[in-house]
Structure 1
Amino acid sequence: MPFTPTGIYWKRDGVEDAPALMLLNSIGTDMDLWTPLLPLLRERFALLRIDTRGHGASPTQGGDVSLQMLADDALAAADAAGFARFSIAGVSLGGMIAMELALRAPARVEKLIPICTSATMDSAAWADRVAKVRAEGMAAIADLAMGRFLSDAASPTTCQTVRRQLLSMDAEGYAGCAAAIRDMDLAPRLAAIAAPTLVVTGSRDISTPFEGHGEHLVSHIPGAAHASLDAAHLAPLEAPEALASAIIAFLER
């Protein structure tokens, strides 16, 4: 199994010499979030998926982490996979990491696709979530997270799978990454993003809707385009075909 020197689990897929695309998961999920899109993307791109620190097969070192640390993890995975230059699509926390990475390593990032994400979350609410998870475990926030992750359009099987994964994950891994959301400072830096950007929002997303979140990214990232999908927060699970089509159209433009 491929791991970076710091223990980040990564997996490469798709066409060897095709344009490179990194796929980043949301908080509370792992690289399997992207499974519904793989048949639609793997014949066009060299794909790199990673399990964010403290998620899936990537261990947590304990304590708070920062977006900068998570961006460094993603860069280490890109180095290990042999991706010198790549595009990035990231959902929720993955989108925040993608924006941080575009700011930290602009020469490496070809195009940027932040999906169902934001640069302006409620830090007090996330501080409460960090404290609750550390005190009471994952079950304490499972209902809250599930109510935001998926809508009634998701199948019962999908909901059960996501809930089971959420409840079984390392609480400290979740809390550490939640602290990165609590402390992020992306909002005042968005104008410095140089990569061509497609902001994707979900019409059913109550966590990071276009109003107040996606619109902020579109208006502050220079030249950003926007695509709206009929999906809740975990768009790869609710609208895989529409999301794949948006990604392909943007990257091949």
Structure 2
Amino acid sequence: MPYLEVAGDRLHYRTDGDAAHPCVVLSNSLGTDLSMWDAQAAALATDHYVVRYDARGHGQSPAGSAPVDLARLGQDVIALLDHLHIDRAAFCGISMGGMTGQWLGIHAPQRFTQLVLANTAARIGSADGWLTRAAQVRQDGMAAIADGAAARWFTPAFIEREPAIVAQLVDRLREQDAGGYAACCEALAHADLRADVASITAPCMIVAGLSDPVTTPADGAWLQQQIPGAKLTTLPASHISNIEAGAAFSALLRAYLE
């Protein structure tokens, strides 16, 4: 399994496809790992170089010792591109990964051909809410967060229709390192890009889930209105739309990148 040393810590990543093809980077949501993109990687790898990674403190990327903020999450992506000798890439991130994409569009526009910002917002939740969650998992572990995750991530119909998929994702969340999860909650507590997203110049597509209670369609519409030339698409899904509406998400992403 390949790892990259970044700021004294290890970042786990995976590549699929031919490195000679155009590159797309996939960035996971809070509490998941790079496997959440399995369907999209399979759909894109025939003619794209797909790079995905476990965000800091997630999956097989240890939380490490470096302070975590949105800038650090964005700089991890730049370090990964540099490590792979990729000058420019498309980027698709969901939820926390979508905030990372916004930061990259603001601070490293020369590195990205396109941005896909899925189920995200320029400000997600409230500082108090994130700090309370971080304190809870530091004290009590991941069980309480995992128990309520399915209802935040998926519609009731999907939970009933695909219990095995839901259970697998919730189990991964339950196994998440509490310190790494809490550190990213604390990063989100202080992440607010509302004053900056209008400076994004890369072509941008916003994807919103029609039933998303976390980052609502209104949040997506606000981003679309702020980012010059951005497009907005909605999918019949809740918060993790690339899994709940997997085929539609993959087709949408593939069409946009082409």
TM-score, with normalisation over the residues of structure 1?
0.95
Residues in 1 aligned to 2:79 and 2:2: alpha-carbon distance in whole angstroms: 12
Residues in 2 aligned to 1:81 and 1:150: alpha-carbon distance in whole angstroms: 34
Residues in 2 aligned to 1:187 and 1:143: alpha-carbon distance in whole angstroms: 31
Give the conservation status (yes or no) of the 8 Å contact 2:39–2:250. no
Give the aligned partner of residue 45 of structure 2.
42
DSSP 3-state at the match of 2:165? helix
Map 1:49-64 → 2, pairs under 5 A: 49-62=52-65
User: What is the identity, as a one-letter code, of the residue corresponding to 2:74?
Assistant: A
Q: Does 1:19 align with 2:22?
A: yes
Give the conservation status (yes or no) of the 8 Å contact 1:63–1:176. no
Cα 1:209–1:215, aligned 2, differ >3 Å: closer, same or farther? same
User: What is the identity, as a one-letter code, of the residue corresponding to 1:34?
Assistant: W
- How many Å apart are 1:4 and its aligned residue? 1.3
Number of aligned residue pairs: give it: 251
Give the aligned partner of residue 257 of structure 2.
251
Q: Structure 1, residues 211-244: CA drift from partner, whole Å, max 9, x if none?
A: 2x11111111111101111111111211111111
Give the aligned partner of residue 236 of structure 1.
242
Residues in 2 aligned to 1:139 and 1:81: alpha-carbon distance in whole angstroms: 36
Residues in 1 aligned to 2:23 and 2:167: alpha-carbon distance in whole angstroms: 32
Residues in 1 aligned to 2:241 and 2:49: alpha-carbon distance in whole angstroms: 21
Residues in 2 aligned to 1:187 and 1:134: alpha-carbon distance in whole angstroms: 29
Give the aligned partner of residue 187 of structure 1.
194
Give the aligned partner of residue 2 of structure 1.
2
Give the aligned partner of residue 133 of structure 1.
137
Map 1:80-99 → 2, pairs under 5 A: 80-99=83-102
Q: Structure 1, residues 40-99: CA drift from partner, whole Å, max 9, x if none?
A: 111121110010001011011257510000111111111122221001000100000111
The root-mean-square deviation of aligned C-alpha atoms, in Å, is: 1.3
Q: Structure 1, residues 180-200: CA drift from partner, whole Å, max 9, x if none?
A: 111002111001111110000
TM-score, with normalisation over the residues of structure 2?
0.93
Cα 1:37–1:151, aligned 2, differ >3 Å: closer, same or farther? same
User: What is the identity, as a one-letter code, of the residue corresponding to 2:130?
Assistant: W
2:75 to 72, 75, 85: 72
Q: Structure 1, residues 131-173: CA drift from partner, whole Å, max 9, x if none?
A: 1111111112123332211222141001110111000110000
1:214 to 220, 224, 229: 220
Q: Which residues of structure 1 form unaligned runs of 5+?
A: none
Q: Does 1:100 align with 2:103?
A: yes
Comparing 165-174 with 30-39, greater Cα deviation is found at 30-39
Divergent runs of 4+, >4 A: none
Q: Structure 1, residues 102-139: CA drift from partner, whole Å, max 9, x if none?
A: 11111001100000011122222112111111111111
Comparing 72-81 with 197-206, greater Cα deviation is found at 72-81
DSSP 3-state at the match of 2:121? coil
Residues in 1 aligned to 2:68 and 2:56: alpha-carbon distance in whole angstroms: 9
Give the aligned partner of residue 29 of structure 1.
32
DSSP 3-state at the match of 2:75? helix
Q: Identity over aligned residues, as a percent? A: 35
User: What is the identity, as a one-letter code, of the residue corresponding to 2:246?
Assistant: P
1:197 to 196, 201, 204: 204
Give the aligned partner of residue 168 of structure 1.
175
